[in-house]
Every structure is written in C-alpha cells, then in structure tokens.
Amino acid sequence: MRFFGFISALCAIVLLSCGSTKKKDMKETEVLIETSLGDIKVKLYNETPQHRDNFIKLAKEGVYDNIIFHRVIRNFMIQTGDPALKPMGEPLSVDTNQYRYTVPAEIVYPRYFHRRGALAAARMGDDVNPERASSGTQFYIVTGSEFSHSSLMELYSAIYQQQVEKIFDELSREHMKELYLFRKKGEREKYEALKDSLLHSAEKQVADNPPTPFSDRQKQAYTTVGGAPHLDGAYTVFGEVVSGIHVAEAISKVKTSKERPLQDVVIKKVTVLD
C-alpha cells in the first residue's frame, strides 16, 4: 500500500526486558491514541519488535501529537502518522526530515492479517520498494468490510491471477528485444509462440509456489467482523485495536475529497501505557 511522503536508521527503545522470558510470555505494550473524535487503544505485537519499538519511540517523542488523518477510505482504512501534516495553520513541532527512514518488513503472516482493527505500517509500492520496508512513521487502522465465503474465493483467484500477470510482465521485459524484433519483422507466429511460452512459464512458477490460501481463522474473521484481505502478506501488521474501534469507524465515515477529510480529524496525543 502506498503512503504519501506513503520511507534507514532505527532507534530502538526496549521497554520490556526479555531475560529468559519467551516472547509469547511478554506483556504486550498498549498505546492510547486520543483523537478529536474519541480515543482508540491499541496493543503492539512482540513478534514485530522493530515496529513496536519504533512506534513507542515516536509516541514518546511526541511525533504523533497534533497531526491529522490524511487518508481515509470508507469500509477500508484510516491512515495517519505523517509529522509534516498538521491541522490548518499549525506550525511544525519537529524536524520532519529526521523521520524519512524506513523500517525493515516484519510480515508475520498468516498469524497476523488485516482483520477489522488491525494496526499496520504504510509503505511505498512494490515497484520502488521490493523489500516491502515500512514507512518510518505512517500507519493505518483497518475498518474494512465483511466478505462472503464465495467472495473470498473470488478474491483468492484474483490474487492468484495477479501473480501470474506480474511474473509474465517481468518475463516479457526480459525478452522485450526478441518480442520487438519478431513484431517488427512481421513474424507473428514466432511472436505469439514466445508470448505463449512466457505465459506458460509464469503459470508454472505460480502453480509451484501459489499464494497462501486463506486460513480458517482468516475466513472466520473476514466473514464475521470483516477486514481487508487483499492486503494480507504484503504489509507489516504490528498491532491491533483493543478498544475504540467505533472511533476508527467514525473517522472512516467522515466526508472526504480525494481520500482527504474535508474537516481535519486530529490525533491530539499518543501515550504509551505502562
């Protein structure tokens, strides 16, 4: 998913001492996000430690205080986290240049997925960001919509076909010169034969390594509470809403122009709860 401003040094602050304690036994950090439409409390996963520690660091530095939700899509998600985007007329309180870094991807999939209430990191697209590194500051909360079992099957088929098309496009670029010469010389049969061969190769590659099917947990979540399954496995989900999902939904329903709220929805303060 793209982010607008939508990227590598990390400063890590470890709040919980691991010692010999296993990650699964560590207490998960909770964070309170106070907005102009109400409060949202989230918990941060220990299985995504770089994103967790980065989020805690930013919250404690006040980077998220008094910024706006700059991208809102009904039945999908609400996005914020750009320290340069303040309410109208408000001066910048931090040097935003220092936050133009990325966080290495920590995609723990399929354990964590884009169910309603998921907290995830925004990032630049695959074409310029094949490593899927996250924005240093920007994040989104999924509001999503519910899916039927049949629509999930259709979505999986679409994802499968997208992978075939992506690989086919990559192979076509590798053989661009040959395709061009066949076409220039009017050798249509050779041109079509090469394209068919490349398509067959793409289909075989995806058949040998298909997209991960939706798990029973995903199916249960997406057909009951909803979410955004088309994002699964491509973005780092590093936490979830534990209270205040109704506030996130209220934000997702504000009037917008080109995905930007017409009236500022502001994060007043972000507080790490001990």
For 119-135, the pLDDT digits (tens) are 999 999 999 999 999 99
pLDDT tens, residue by residue, 168-210: 999 999 999 999 999 999 999 999 999 999 999 999 999 999 9
What pLDDT, in 10s, does the model give residues 224-233? 999 999 999 9
Mean pLDDT of the chain: 91
In tens, the pLDDT along 32-67 reads 999 999 999 999 999 999 999 999 999 999 999 999
Query: pLDDT confidence of 8, banded at 50, 70, 90?
Result: very low
> What kind of fold does domain 23-146+225-273 have according to CATH?
Cyclophilin (2.40.100)
Amino acid letter, 107? I
Q: Would you call 16 exposed, middle or buried from its count of C-beta atoms within 10 A (0-12, 13-18, 19+)?
A: middle
Tokens of 94: 């931090």
Residue 89: what pLDDT? 73
Strand order in the sheet with 29-35: 67-68, 266-273, 29-35, 38-44, 237-243, 118-121, 139-142, 77-80, 71-73
Helix (H, G, I), strand (E, B) or coil at 139: strand
Q: Give CA–CA dist 2/140, Å, rounded.
A: 11
What is the arithmetic mean of pLDDT over 77-104?
88
Local confidence band at 13 (pLDDT 50, 70, 90 cut-offs): very low
Euclidean distance between CA atoms 234 and 216, whole angstroms: 19
pLDDT tens string 240-273: 999 999 999 999 999 999 999 999 999 999 999 9
- Is residue 34 within 8 Å of residue 269, measured between CB atoms? yes
> Binning pLDDT at 50, 70 and 90, where does residue 97 land?
confident
Do residues 7 and 135 make contact, with C-beta atoms less than 8 angstroms apart?
Answer: yes
Tokens read off for 59: 């919250």
